[in-house]
Chain A
Amino acid sequence: MFVKTKKTKEAITGYVFLLPNIIGFITFVLLPVLISLFLSFTSYDLFGDTDSVAEFMKKYFIGFKNIYKLLFQFDADGYATSNILCFWNYLGDKCLWYFLGNTLYFMLMIPIGMAVSLALALAMNQKLKGIVVFRTIYFLPVISSMVACAILWRWIYNPEYGLLNGILQILGVAKENLPQWLSSTLWAKPAIMLMLIWKSAGYNMLLYLAALQGINQELYEAGDVDGATSFDKFWNITLPMLRPVNFFIIIMSIIGGLQMFGEIYVMTGGGPGDSTTTIVYYIYQNAFVWFRMGYAAALSWVLFVMIFSATWIQWKYLGQKFEI
């Protein structure tokens, strides 16, 4: 009897401790997830209040139509994308597939950024003096506001008077050959990628540095005894030992990369000609510009499926292989 009351008391204490968090968790995480799932089967538009659930269902419930539209047949009511003549013309919401392509293009920066960060971390791992100064400088963009950084880079990319084209001109690039950066469909994506590499290099560098410092020095000493060259040691000791942190960075970068929004909003507004519109930007437009809440919810679940499968595949094939 005593034991039981003690257990109950313990359980009550547990729930009480959990209470402040779980209220929020239910209201702002769990409930929204369920509502979102429900909304993706409706054509809810935020206007027109209904009195009862039945009335709501009658007015807005459209079943799998959103998903069907999205995957098989979508007429972009009034919203014209650029003339994309490609296979995705036959794949439902052309915009979605095109914007997915944009998002994947942006993700090309992940390996480039990782290489930059790793190179920096390797240089910093040489037990140099003044490392704090370098660390501070490289990490500075990470803590900076994305909006401010985007504005600052817009000025750098200014085709006429920006810093970048100024430097290119000094280097001898003819005026008519200068890239138009953010106002060119060809260069807008690389421009945003460069800015994001600048912004995130410091973060990944720190992760790499911590991992490098965690590698057992005896491994290198053993390598020296066996007469290994620097390259051998890098290839056969450093890289394998960095697998866990590589894995972490790849997963986090892909999850983050699939959700790009703020930088796009401030730097290009999705343009020119939709060439920098990402999936989340498209969801934002659907929900808060055109008020197609139901369709936007369906899109967001498509995004969830993508993120989930990307993570799952990596976990399954990379994570297990590297015994994480």
Chain B
Amino acid sequence: MAEYYKSLKTQEILKKIFSYLFLIAGSILMLAPIVWTISTSLKEEGSTQTLPPEWTPRVMLRVMYNGKLLQVMQSKSTGEIYLLIKKEKEGYTVRKIKSQLNVSYFSLIRETEKMEFRLVKDKSRSLGKTYLIIQDFETTDSRAISIAQLDELKSLTGGIPDKFTVLTVKPLPVFELDNETVSDPLDLKPKKVMWFRWRNYKEAWGVAPFGRMYINSIMVSLAITFGVLFTSSLAAYSFARINFPGRDKLFLLYLGTMMIPFPVTMIPTFIIIEKLGWMDTFYALIVPGLFSTYGVFMLRQFFMTIPKELEEAAIIDGCSRFGIYWRIFLPLSLPALATLGIFTFIGTYNDFMGPLIYLKTESKYTLPVGLSYFQGQYHSQTAYMMAASMIVLAPMIIVYVFGQRFFVRGIVMTGLKG
């Protein structure tokens, strides 16, 4: 018998290990698209198209040597680092770099409109010397990175250099080189360094009015959310607790319309909005969204569970109907209200069809339709596209990660009651 329980226990442990492995594998699959998006959004446009796919954003390393910008290459077979001097038919003329460069740490020290200065540590040397990397955004080749020894720069300029002093200082070579040799081009690949191009976000933000869209989206979503909470809870209270003729038939009508798919009402609503003169205004988005039959249904079900005695006691105390609704029902149903509110907010924040049909002016776009428009214009610039997608996704993800308890409880509640 003891052995039976022992085997049962091993079985349990095996089950748990298997579950963990399964869940971890699943999580990787779930997160991969999002991580891939973030990674792409930080790449330079030129290095988004790589085969095989690269998960870390990297740029090709080029260095200033004797006033020329030269590409750093790495041998596939030996791993040695070369400076590419000349490309020729019979092979590449290269010079081997004796002291290897192993760039590992970046920190932004200064950024101007045209240039970016980063500190880099070379780990391969025991002293861990620091270099300064300058990226010049104005040159046609945006990968232009020149490296100068900071210690020497400091002695020349007396401190951290600003744009002008750096430009006047002749960039110094940071490595010793062998003599020129000819190498097989097939053996060489460009040496790359990790480089997060945060500017993609800045630039994507600059080409489309995302700030404006955020305000639009949040404004519309908040208005609809509070509107839905107000109208639904009032109606739900009426359906749940007040006796009036035709109540149950009316409620059945409400339930019946929940079955009707949105395309049926989409066309007439469009015509109504047009006749009201609300085309291309926020009224077109907000007003039809204020009345949720689903919200009425959900809150009514919740209100039904509140004990009648509470209400009767309040009536004896001379409380009005509105007082009961406001002071008893609303506070008692905060979880249900939070759920309805959260889902209404997510639904409207992510809503695409409404804004697509009703809005024409770019400055009125909400995030999803703005993003779709952005895609139409910049679809060839993958890094921008991914940065723009992250701009739209990020706020919801952050809110969700911090408030996920509410989200989850809401799902379970609506799922079981709906």
Instruction: Tell me the A residues contacting B by CB distance below 8 Å.
Output: 7, 10-15, 17-18, 20-25, 27-33, 35-36, 39, 46, 119-120, 122-124, 126, 128, 132, 134-141, 143-149, 151-153, 155-156, 158, 160-163, 166-167, 169-170, 198, 201-203, 206-207, 210, 230, 245, 248, 252, 255, 258-259, 261-262, 265-266, 280, 283-284, 287-288, 293, 296-297, 299-301, 303-304, 307-308, 311
Contact = CB atoms under 8 A, between A and B. Distances in A.
Given A145-B349, A147-B392, A160-B49, A138 B267 contact: no
B412 A210 contact: yes
Nearest to B253: A30
3 nearest CB pairs, A to B: A24-B291, A14-B244, A166-B53
B411 to A, nearest CB: 5
A120 B352 contact: no
Given A126-B15, A300-B261, 9 more contacts: A122-B19, A123-B23, A126-B19, A163-B33, A166-B52, A169-B51, A265-B352, A280-B261, A283-B263
Contact of A210 (B239, B269, B415, B418): B415
Contact of A301 (B264, B266, B408): B264
A15 B37 CA distance: 51
B214 interface: no
Contacts of A153: 33
Given A138-B27, A307-B261, A297 B411 contact: no
B389 interface: yes
6 contacts: A141-B30, A143-B346, A158-B382, A258-B261, A296-B263, A299-B263
Given A17-B234, A144-B396, A161-B50, A32 B265 contact: yes
Contact of B259 (A146, A252, A308): A308
A17 B393 contact: no
B235 A20 contact: yes
A296 B352 contact: no
Interface stretch (B106-114, B182-190, B399-407): B399-407
B288 interface: yes
A152 B389 contact: yes
A14 B243 contact: yes
Interface in B45-91: 48-53
Contact of B235 (A17, A119, A134): A17
A304 B16 CA distance: 46
Given A29-B293, A138-B26, A155-B386, A206 B268 contact: no
Contacts of A304: 260-261, 264
B397 A33 contact: no
Interface stretch (B93-101, B161-169, B366-374): B366-374
Given A10-B243, A18-B238, A148-B389, A140 B265 contact: no
A198 B15 contact: no
Most chain B CB inside 10 Å of its own CB: which residue of A29, A33, A201, A307: A29
Contact of B245 (A11, A122, A300): A11
B321 interface: yes
Contact of A11 (B232, B244, B266, B416): B244
Contacts of B296: 21
A207 B417 CA distance: 11
Contacts of B257: 25, 29-30, 33
Contacts of A288: 270, 357
A250 to B, nearest CB: 13
B353 interface: yes
A135 B52 contact: no
Interface in B160-196: none
B319 interface: no
Contact of A139 (B244, B388, B407): B407
Contacts of A25: 254, 257, 291, 293
B350 A145 contact: yes
Contact of A21 (B48, B232, B375, B388): B232
A140 B30 contact: yes
B412 A206 contact: yes
A31 B52 contact: no
B207 interface: no
A202 B261 CA distance: 24
A139 B238 CA distance: 35
Contacts of B223: none
Given A21-B296, A128-B19, A170-B52, A151 B36 contact: no
A203 B408 CA distance: 9
A125 to B, nearest CB: 9
A183 B16 CA distance: 42
B352 A262 contact: yes
A265 B373 CA distance: 12
B125 interface: no
B272 interface: yes
A147 B352 CA distance: 7
Nearest to B26: A120
Interface string B232-255: 101101110011110100100110
A148 B244 contact: no
Contacts of A301: 264
A300 B266 contact: yes
B271 A124 contact: no
Interface in B319-355: 321, 325, 346, 349-350, 352-353
Contact of B418 (A143, A248, A262): A248
Interface in B4-37: 11, 15-16, 18-20, 22-23, 26-27, 29-34, 36-37
B40 interface: yes
Given A28-B265, A28-B269, A147 B53 contact: no
Given A11-B244, A166-B52, A300-B264, A20 B418 contact: no
A190 B2 CA distance: 51
A248 to B, nearest CB: 7
A17 B352 contact: no
A153 B393 CA distance: 14
A163 B36 contact: yes
Contacts of A141: 30
Contacts of A126: 15-16, 19
B208 interface: no
A156 B264 contact: no
B298 interface: no
B226 interface: no
Contacts of A261: 353
Contact of A152 (B37, B49, B401): B37
Given A128-B23, A156-B33, A248-B415, A145 B367 contact: yes
B198 interface: no
B149 interface: no
A171 to B, nearest CB: 11
A155 B247 CA distance: 52
